[in-house]
């Protein structure tokens, strides 16, 4: 994608310096050396034919002969990439089943369920994996009784082995998580209120984000609080 976009760029830019870049690229190609344009054409070959002419470079789609202008190129390349990923997933036997189920699941609204992937930059990988496990309904109880993708019959919680592993159990009933994760979550939630109150009383200047590692001090004091 980057190479194709880089090759198209000089052909839509009116800067005289870019004219030099174009001339250089063309000369290099004439002499038979590897050039950016040639390389980009190879990458695009599978689905697009590049027609690089200043000032309106275009690409033509092989399958539909549709003309893609430089403005629409980025979106088109992205679409192609998505399509490729989808096809690759489709070839995997069971992941495909889960992915298509997720795409068709109306309760998984794209904006409501996936915005945090782009908005939450510091999100840890195990959190992402855990969230997707919930979305994909990979908890044993669901796999055993609803989708029947699991035939082992093992539904007990993989952490405590005491109760069936369900969303409710994982969120608020697992003894293995009670001493650690639940306390951490409880404290993280209260910390938001705590710092808001401190700020109202003028004891701190700003409220740290909820994921900050900052620990409250035992005592905060001012002349009136
Ligand atoms: Zn458990």
| Host H or E run for residue 126 | helix 125-135
Of 81, 100, 118, which one is at a domain's C-terminal end? 81
Q: Name the DSSP class of 49.
A: E
- C-alpha closest to that of 184 among 115, 124, 111, 135: 124
Of 41, 61, 81, which one is at a domain's C-terminal end? 81
Q: Give dist(CA 194, CA 172) in Å, integer.
A: 23
Quote the ligand 1 centre to 57 CA distance (angstroms): 59
Of 177, 195, 217, which one is at a domain's C-terminal end? 177
For the whole model, what pTM was predicted? 0.49
Total of domains in the chain: 2
Q: Clarify whether residues 65 and 21 are in a common domain.
A: yes
Ranges of beta strands (E only) in 91-186 are: none
Three-class SS of residue 137?
A: coil
Q: What pLDDT is recorded for position 110?
A: 66
Q: What are the pLDDT digits (tens) for 84-140?
A: 888 888 887 776 776 777 677 776 776 777 788 888 888 888 888 878 777 766 677
Q: Domain of residue 144: give its range.
A: 110-177
Quote the ligand 1 centre to 14 CA distance (angstroms): 64
Quote the ligand 1 centre to 181 CA distance (angstroms): 12
Quote the ligand 1 centre to 187 CA distance (angstroms): 21
């Amino acid at each position: 994608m980057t190479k194709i976009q880089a090759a198209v760029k000089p052909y839509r830019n009116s800067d005289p310096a870019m004219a030099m870049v174009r001339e250089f690229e063309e000369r290099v190609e004439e002499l038979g050396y590897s050039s950016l344009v040639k390389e980009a054409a190879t990458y695009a070959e599978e689905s697009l034919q590049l027609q690089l002419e200043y000032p309106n470079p275009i690409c033509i789609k092989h399958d539909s002969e549709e003309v893609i202008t430089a403005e629409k190129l980025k979106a088109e390349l992205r679409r192609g990439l998505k399509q490729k990923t989808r096809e690759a997933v489709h070839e995997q036997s069971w992941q495909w089943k889960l992915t298509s189920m997720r795409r068709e699941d109306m309760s998984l609204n794209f904006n409501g369920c996936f915005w945090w992937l782009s908005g939450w930059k510091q999100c840890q990988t195990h959190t992402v994996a855990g969230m997707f496990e919930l979305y994909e309904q990979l908890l044993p109880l669901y796999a055993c009784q609803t989708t029947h993708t699991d035939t082992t019959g093992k539904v007990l919680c993989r952490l405590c082995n005491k109760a069936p592993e369900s969303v409710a159990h994982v969120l608020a009933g697992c003894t293995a998580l009670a001493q650690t994760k639940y306390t951490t979550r409880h404290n993280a939630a209260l910390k938001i209120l705590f710092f808001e109150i401190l700020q109202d009383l003028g004891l701190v200047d700003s409220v740290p984000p909820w994921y900050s590692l900052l620990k409250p001090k035992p005592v905060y004091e001012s002349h009136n609080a």
